[in-house]
Every structure is written in C-alpha cells, then in structure tokens.
Amino acid sequence: MSNLLEEVKEGKYIYGIIRNSDPLNYGPIGMGKRADLVYSISYKGISAIVSNSPIIIYEARRVNMITHEKVLEEVMKQFTVLPVRFSTISEHDDDAGILRILEKDYKKFDEMLDKMEGKKELGLKILANESAIYESIIEKYDEIRIMRGKLMNLPADKTHYQRMKIGEMVAEALKKETENFKTMILDVLNPLSEDQKLNDNYGEMMILNAAFLIKNNSEPAFDKAVNDLDEKFGNLMTFRYVGTLPPYNFVNLTINTKGV
C-alpha cells in the first residue's frame, strides 16, 4: 500500500483565471481532505487560482463540486473569474508549470476576460404548481371542462376510454401552456441580459431552466423583473432565482495541462 501511495505525484489544481497581478491568498480551502492553500500565480496581469493537489481524477461528488465552487465564490467577491473545468490539474508541482500555461494561453484568457468583465451569471428555474396549473387549464379549455363535467358522476370502469382521452388532452394543454409561459417570461427577461442559456427541463412541471449573463449595473432591473413576474404568476408557479454564480454556462474554458 505504501508503494502505491508514493506513486501518486503532486500537481496544481486550477480553479479559475482572473485579471490581477498582486499575490492572493485564500487560505486552506483547497480540493480534497488536505485543506491545501489556495493562492494565485500571475503572469503579465493575469492570474491562475490554484492549490497543491495530488494528480488524481476527483469524482464529481457533491462534496468535491461544492469545494470547487466555494473557491470560485470567494474569488468572485473581488474579481471577474473564468471558471476552469472541474478536476483540471497541472502535472507540474511547481509554479513554473502554471506560468507556462498562462504564457501559452495568454491571448485566449485576455480576450475571454474582456468579454466577461463586469458581468455575472444568474440562474432561474421555474416550476408549475401542479394543482393550480391543472385548475387553470380546466378553466381555460372549454372542451376539457365540459367533458370532465360529464364524466364526474359516471362509474370509472364505464368511462375508461373517455378518461384516458381527457388525460391526453390535459397533457397536451399543459405542454402548450408551459411553452406559452416560457415565451412570455423570456420576452421580459432576455432584453435585460447580455446572453441566455436554456438548459434542459426535467419533468413536465418545469417551465424554465435558464442561465442569464447580466451586466452588474443591470442586475437591479433584472431582479425587479423577476420579482414582478413572481408576483404576477406566483399562484401558478414557483420561482427559484439564484445568483451570483460563476459563469459556467457562458465560459467553456478547457486547459490543456499535458506537456506544458
């Protein structure tokens, strides 16, 4: 066992890239159980946020993902950050390896930081309230309401086909209504954001699962728009509004750590 442990080499875990020249020290909050120091390595005004780490593949478990995100959240209190893909580790155990990465990809980092400067990611998930949305469908769609009324006092075993038909009609109406609400909400929010990323919905009750890239000075107006929508539709749906987030949805930063 001791021989196996000795074979694990040391490297540098890379969390993100920022524009900064001064030395930074975020304390012992690094990946894994060792609580390694998180600090900056700088080259010509651009810094990588790193910590020492064994060269291993970290499992995408909740505890590891949270550690990675907490480091980025600390950095974001002061800086615009380009988040680096989870479990990116330089295979060099000294700062020189990171400096070579910064030098090699300097132009790319510089351009991406310019693009993201003064912006942040905000997340919005909207879920339909099941009973309320079904009631609104029954009120709105005359055919469904009339057919449902006719069947209410009839035995279930005699009206199996008709009940299945109503179920299909309600499912179709739900799909139509959630799409209408989604369009209506995006028509309000999209003009207030710089970019949007629509992620996959999970479950038929999800109306929207989106990330928005917002200028910092546009955040109050965006917050107000979300609050106004919540007040308007709050009886029909639940709003889950999250921010400030590392801009994962708008920065696809993959660093080649091999042979650098």
pLDDT in tens, 176-213: 888 888 999 999 999 999 999 999 888 778 899 999 99
**Contact predicate 141/169, CB 8 Å:** yes
Within 117-212, where are the H helices? 130-140, 142-151, 160-189
Q: What is the mean pLDDT of residues 243-251?
A: 86
| DSSP symbols for 190-232 | GGGSSEEEEPPP-STTEEEEEEEEEEGGGHHHHHHHHHHHHHH
**The tokens of 131 are what?**
């009973």
Neighbours of 144 (CB within 10 A): 19
Q: First and final CA of the chain: distance in angstroms?
A: 31
Name the helix (H) or strand (E) containing 120: strand 119-128
pLDDT in tens, 134-190: 778 777 766 666 666 666 666 566 656 666 776 677 777 778 888 888 999 999 999
- Matching residue, tokens 């309401």: 145
Domain boundaries, the chain: 2-117, 120-245
**Amino acid occupying residue 121:** E
pLDDT in tens, 63-116: 999 999 999 999 999 999 999 999 999 988 889 999 999 999 999 999 999 999
Could you give the C-alpha distances from 260 to 12, 86, 95, 98, 157, in angstroms and in order? 12, 19, 12, 8, 71
**Of residues 109 and 235, more confidently modeled:** 109
CA proximity to 8, closest of 102, 123, 93, 121? 93
SS3 call for 47? strand
Given this model, what pLDDT does residue 163 score?
63
Domain 120-245 falls under CATH 1.10.10: no
The conformation of residue 157, written as its DSSP 8-state character, comes to: G
